[in-house]
């Protein structure tokens, strides 16, 4: 006898054998037991979650020779023929191969005739969203008012493509993706019955790779059995799926925590010798960050420990690295190659990790970039001005019909500028570039001058941009924090701000923060206001420009909404 794949051998033959989808089964069982049967059912969900299986079991329930019930006998001719796909009154159609309206009309030609052997004539249409618009129109009338002996069972992975007129005529059941634990538990049951050795961790890897599909999980298990020589182990499954062993990712995080850039890149080199799929490596890294974050904050809720110390990173670092990994994975395809993108993602994390309030800014620059620091840092404090330049090629000698070209240059706010000093304040601005002692009785607005000299970065910089000085008295510095930034207020960020103030003021500083609702004129709000004003000026300059007005009048031109952007002074 030929080998039968696990996905077919272990396909449920009744509702009691179904795994998951209890919300759908509950509704169908109630309908069968109370004999409240609708004429059209629509099952939706991703691949391999049981849409067609439930439809076939439901067909058994309707046409079982023992009578309509929620528990078909499974031994009568109707049940056996439906299970084998050869029942004459179960018309199973793949809509992807029968999209033409003629196919639908042929299918419905015999609707009015009574079933040959069963109680109902059942039309099971799989991937029904593949039907053409004309096919749906041909189906609508019959779908709404079929003969009493006809039932429609529709299945689709993309219900958004179905016309509303079809959806309104069906009872719709949305099947959910299978949870990871449910898939691994069912795989363990199947392999135990099949007498195949396995490790629990290997089943978790297979369940994760199945991505919510029980059919995919069983197919991958078949492949894993062959790859592992009749048994399933972690190494064989990882090799089959092209996954990295967990120890490599653990080394990545350990070297990231210890700020060891050389060892970090050496580990990536070892990873490249095993696999070139750095997209999957990024996914595994993101999952590891998630495990660490959960294990750190709610350790009792995690069944699968990450295998690393939970205090390897602070909570703030974990959140930051998780977000950076998400963006890094998204940008992998934009890099020259995936490995380069993966390395840059790790180096970006390392750059933020180094600025922890204990490592000096000079040390950070030395480790990240060997280039010497510029002698003149005045460029970071250049004061941008709004300037609109219209270049015009319309001259007296212009040929008739020649189209004028218009270019707009609007310098924008330098990203490093936190406020816009007046021209008369240049001297004080130059003086603020060097650390200066701050005297007692500092007024609120002095925070705009003091902040650039603190050389903060990361979350500490973001928090500081939402602050204003309440009072500076000797060793005590009291800051107001806008309530919109309360989520940024962490002990690590406060320690970094206090360390920077200690360095600038030349004495130990004790920092305290007080949350204030709608704090006005913070550096962040001032920056946003400047940006909005410059954007408005740029848009106004374009709208009022005579050449643009002429282009609108003569050629019916229009300005694309959102296309106007202020430019930096360096842009030409």
Interval 185-242: pLDDT, tens: 999 999 999 999 999 989 999 998 998 999 999 999 999 999 988 999 988 898 888 7
CATH number at 194 reads 1.10.8.60
- Tell me how far apart the alpha carbons of residues 416 and 320 are, in angstroms, rounded to a whole number: 21
Residue 558, in any domain of the structure: yes
Q: Quick one: average pLDDT of 436-446?
A: 46
Ranking 41-50, 66-75, 163-172, 403-412 by mean pLDDT, the lowest is 403-412
If you compute the radius of gyration of the chain from its CA atoms, what whole number of angstroms results?
34
pLDDT of residue 409: 38
**pLDDT at site 393:** 34
What are the b/e assignments for 296-314, b being 16+ CB within 10 Å?
beeeeebeeebebebebbe
CA angle 180, 305, 270 (to 5 degrees): 95
Q: Is 371 part of a structural domain of the chain?
A: no
Residue 479 has pLDDT above 60, yes or no: yes
User: What pLDDT, on a 0 to 100 scale, did the predictor assign at position 85?
Assistant: 87
Contacts of 169 (CB under 8 A, 6+ apart): 40, 140, 143, 144
**526 and 436 fall within a common domain:** yes
Nearest to 294 by CA among 272, 310, 271: 310
Task: At 515, list the tokens.
Answer: 């949350």
Q: Both tokens of residue 430? A: 């130059």
What is the per-residue pLDDT across 99-155, written as a single tens digit (0 to 9) for each? 778 878 888 888 888 898 889 999 999 999 988 888 888 888 888 889 999 999 999
Residue position matching structure tokens 């991958």: 220
Is the residue at 114 inside a domain? Answer: yes
Residue of 430, 498, 414 lying closest to 464 (CA atoms): 498
The 8-class DSSP code of residue 337 comes to S
| Same domain membership, residue 184 and residue 170 | no
One domain for residues 547 and 417: yes
The tokens for 347 are 């180096």
Q: CA 475, CA 412: separation in Å to the nearest integer?
A: 38
> Which residue, 471, 465, 477, 472, is CA-closest to 510?
477
Report pLDDT digits (tens) over 338-377.
999 999 999 999 888 654 444 433 333 433 344 344 443 3
CA distance 1 to 377: 80
In a domain, 324, yes or no: yes
Judgement on whether residues 62 and 87 belong to the same structural domain of the protein = yes
Position 201 in a domain: yes
CATH number for the domain harbouring residue 251: 1.20.272.10
Cα 370 from Cα 368, distance rounded (Å): 7
Count of CA atoms in the C-beta half-sphere (13 A) of 566: 23
Strand partners, 171: 41
pTM above 0.85, yes or no: no
Q: Are residue 152 and residue 193 in the same domain, yes or no?
A: no
Pairing mode of beta strands 121-126, 90-94: parallel
CA distances from 414 to 58, 384, 567, 570 (A): 66, 7, 10, 10
The answer to whether residue 1 sits within a structural domain is: no
Mean per-residue pLDDT, 430-437:
41
Is 319 inside any structural domain? yes
Structure tokens at 509: 């500083």
- Co-location of 295 and 417 in the same domain: no
The CATH number of the domain where 514 resides is what?
3.30.300.150
If one counts the domains in the chain, the total is 4
Sequential DSSP letters for 455-497: ---HHHHHHHTTEEEEEEETTEEEEEEEGGGGGG--HHHHHHH
Task: Supply the pLDDT for residue 458.
Answer: 87
Neighbours of 374 (CB within 10 A): 9
Q: Are residues 445 and 505 in the same domain?
A: yes
CB atoms within 10 A of CB 407: 10
| Residue 18 and residue 140 in one domain | yes
Among candidate residues 241, 267, 288, the one where a domain is terminated: 241
Q: Band the pLDDT of 24: cuts 50, 70, 90.
A: very high
**Of 194, 220, 241, at which residue does a domain stop?**
241
Range of the domain at 94: 6-174
Q: Which helix (H) or strand (E) holds 121?
A: strand 121-126
Same domain, 430 and 507: yes
CA dihedral 232, 236, 238, 240 (to 10 degrees): -100
Tell me: do 34 and 150 sit in the same domain. Answer: yes
CATH number at residue 76: 3.40.50.300
Segment 164-197, tens digit of pLDDT: 999 999 999 999 999 999 999 999 999 999 999 9
Residues 403 and 550 in one domain: yes
Longest dimension (CA), the chain: 98
Predicted confidence (pLDDT) per residue in 237-296, tens digit: 988 887 877 788 899 999 999 989 999 999 999 888 887 788 888 988 998 999 899 888
User: Could you say which of 221, 241, 261 is where a domain stops?
Assistant: 241
Output the pLDDT for position 62: 94
- Classify burial at 86, counting beta carbons within 10 Å of its beta carbon; exposed 0-12, middle 13-18, buried 19 or more: exposed
The pLDDT of residue 217 is: 94
Average pLDDT, the chain: 81
Cα(274)–Cα(279) distance, rounded to whole angstroms? 14
pLDDT for the residue 353: 66
| Unique residue bearing structure tokens 């002074």 | 569
Q: Report if residue 382 sits inside a domain.
A: no
Q: Does one domain contain both 408 and 460?
A: yes
pLDDT at 1: 55
């Amino acid at each position: 006898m030929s080998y039968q794949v696990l996905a077919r051998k272990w396909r449920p033959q009744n509702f009691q054998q179904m795994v998951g989808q209890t919300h759908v089964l509950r509704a169908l069982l109630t309908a069968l037991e109370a004999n409240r049967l609708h004429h059209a059912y629509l099952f939706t969900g991703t691949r391999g979650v049981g849409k067609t299986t439930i439809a076939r079991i439901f067909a058994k329930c309707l046409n079982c020779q023992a009578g309509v019930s929620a528990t078909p006998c499974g031994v009568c001719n109707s049940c056996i023929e439906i299970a084998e796909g050869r029942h004459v009154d179960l018309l199973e159609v793949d809509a992807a191969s029968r999209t033409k309206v003629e196919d639908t009309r042929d299918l419905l030609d015999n609707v009015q005739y009574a079933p040959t052997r069963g109680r109902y004539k059942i039309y099971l249409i799989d991937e029904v969203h593949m039907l053409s618009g004309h096919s749906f129109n041909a189906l609508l009338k019959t779908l709404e008012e079929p003969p009493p002996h006809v039932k429609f069972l529709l299945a689709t992975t993309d219900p958004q493509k179905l016309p509303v007129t079809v959806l309104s005529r069906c009872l719709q059941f949305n099947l959910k993706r299978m949870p990871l634990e449910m898939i691994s538990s069912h795989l363990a049951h199947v392999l135990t019955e099949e007498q195949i050795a396995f490790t629990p961790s290997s089943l978790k890897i297979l369940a994760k790779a199945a991505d919510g599909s029980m059919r995919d999980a069983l197919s991958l298990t078949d492949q894993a059995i062959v790859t592992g020589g009749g048994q399933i182990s972690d190494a064989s499954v990882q090799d089959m799926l092209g996954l990295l062993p967990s120890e490599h990712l653990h080394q990545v995080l350990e070297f990231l925590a210890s700020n060891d850039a050389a060892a970090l890149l050496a580990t990536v080199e070892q990873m490249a010798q095993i696999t070139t799929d750095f997209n999957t490596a990024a996914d595994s890294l993101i999952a590891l960050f998630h495990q660490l974050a959960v294990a750190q904050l709610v350790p009792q809720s995690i069944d699968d420990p990450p295998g690393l110390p939970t205090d390897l990173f602070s909570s703030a670092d974990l959140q930051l690295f998780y977000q950076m990994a998400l963006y890094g994975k998204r940008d992998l395809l934009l890099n020259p190659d995936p490995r380069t993108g993966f390395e840059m993602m790790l180096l970006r994390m390392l750059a933020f990790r180094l600025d922890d309030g204990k490592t000096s800014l000079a040390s950070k620059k030395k480790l990240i970039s060997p280039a010497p620091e510029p002698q003149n840092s005045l460029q970071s404090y250049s004061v941008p001005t709004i300037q609109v330049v219209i270049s015009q090629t319309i001259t007296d000698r212009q040929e008739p019909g020649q189209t004028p070209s218009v270019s707009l240059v609007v310098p924008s706010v330098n990203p490093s500028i936190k406020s816009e000093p007046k021209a008369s304040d240049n001297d004080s601005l130059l003086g603020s570039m060097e650390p200066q002692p701050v005297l007692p009785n500092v007024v609120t607005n002095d925070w705009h001058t003091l902040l650039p000299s603190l050389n903060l970065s990361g979350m500490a910089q973001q928090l500081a941009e939402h602050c204003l000085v309440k009072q500076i008295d000797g060793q005590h510095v009291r800051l107001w924090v806008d309530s919109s930034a309360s989520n940024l207020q962490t002990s690590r960020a406060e320690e970094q701000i206090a360390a920077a103030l200690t360095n600038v003021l030349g004495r130990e500083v004790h920092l305290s923060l007080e949350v204030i609702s709608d704090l006005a004129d913070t550096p962040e709000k001032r920056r946003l206001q400047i940006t909005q004003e410059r954007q408005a000026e740029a848009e106004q300059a374009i709208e009022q420009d005579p050449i643009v007005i002429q282009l609108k009048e003569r050629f019916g031109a229009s300005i694309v909404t959102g296309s106007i952007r202020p430019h930096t002074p360096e842009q030409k």
